[in-house]
Amino acid sequence: SSELTQDPAVSVALGQTVRITCQGDSLRTYYANWYQQKPGQAPTLVIFGRYKRPSGIPDRFSGSNSGNTASLTITGARAEDDADYYCNSRDNSGDRYVFGTGTRVTVL
Amino acid sequence: QVHLVESGGGVVQPGRSLRLSCAASGFTFRNYGMHWVRQAPDKGLEWVAIISYDGVNKYYADSVKGRLTISRDNSKNTLYLQVNSLRIEDTAVYFCAKETDESYDRKAFDVWGRGTMVTVSS
């Protein structure tokens, strides 16, 4: 098994930039994906394969990676970006998956 | 339109069993790996299980191995999760999710259902 660790919470002023990180050994081998989840809703994929955006996801969302750390950056945060964000990837076995601990992003 | 709809949740006593279903539409179900992910109240997401597109390969999180069985019926476009010997800590919203058709090391979950709530309580 393996773990993906995220900061529990971050805040960002409206229109500013925030970066969320995700650390884990599996990220040295497998690409990170990022999901946004709002209260009472299912998660939504916002970044996959480290930096790709699904159709319909604004380009203010971007992803990157360095070693065992993946990052999700929101450039020009909007009120609707206020949500929980989770990273995920395959775990060290390659057969299973793991989610990060989650980051609560508050847009002030 | 791509759609996943879970059903089968409810209030169940500890030790009992439950079968969850996930009905898929809007895409060629038999071509994609499928997952179950759960979320306990006010907790984070927990990956539970995966089944390959043809139902041959199945893998489970260590926390549920031996009690949960994932299966699929490609003729009915439906995914299942059999949960046995339910425990209080199995209380969660259970989501089904479709895998992307990216390469092995880039797989993600691009379509999610709205989830079905399972409450284990005496």
Q: Report pLDDT for B93.
A: 98
Helix, strand, coil distribution of chain A in percent, nearest 5: 5, 50, 45
CA-nearest residue to A104 within chain B is: B44
Q: Helix/strand/coil (H, E, C) string of A28-72?
A: HCCCCEEEEECCCCCCEEEEECCCECCCCCCCCEEEEEECCEEEE
Between CA A69 and CA B11 the distance in angstroms is 40
Per-chain mean pLDDT for chain A: 95
Q: Report pLDDT for A101.
A: 97
CA A90 remoteness from chain centre: 14
Q: What are phi and psi of B113, to 5 degrees?
A: -80, 180
Strands (E), B1-122: 3-7, 10-12, 18-25, 34-39, 45-51, 58-60, 68-73, 78-83, 92-99, 109-112, 116-120
Work out the pLDDT band at A43, boundaries 50, 70, 90. Answer: very high
Work out the pLDDT band at A2, boundaries 50, 70, 90. Answer: confident
Residues of A with CB under 8 A from a CB of B: 1, 29-31, 33, 35, 37, 41-45, 48-50, 54, 84, 86, 88, 90, 95-102
> What are the Cα distances from residue A61, in Å, to A27, B8, B64, B89?
19, 35, 34, 34
Give yes or no for residue A50 having a pLDDT over 90: no
Contact B108 A1 (CB under 8 A): no
Between CA B14 and CA B121 the distance in angstroms is 6
Between CA A97 and CA A64 the distance in angstroms is 19
Q: Report pLDDT for B104.
A: 85
C-alpha closest to that of A100 among A11, A1, A37, A34: A34
- Which tens digit of pLDDT belongs to each residue from A63-80? 999 999 999 999 999 999
Chain A nearest CA to B85, separation (Å)? 22
Between CA A74 and CA A60 the distance in angstroms is 5
CA-nearest residue to A92 within chain B is: B105
Spell out, as residue ranges, where chain B has pLDDT lower than 70. none
Cross-chain CB nearest to A99 (options B44, B112, B114):
B44
Work out the pLDDT band at A1, boundaries 50, 70, 90. Answer: low
**A81-85, A89-93, B1-5: the lowest-pLDDT one:** A89-93
Token digits of residue A81: 């970006």
- Tokens 């390659």 locate to A94
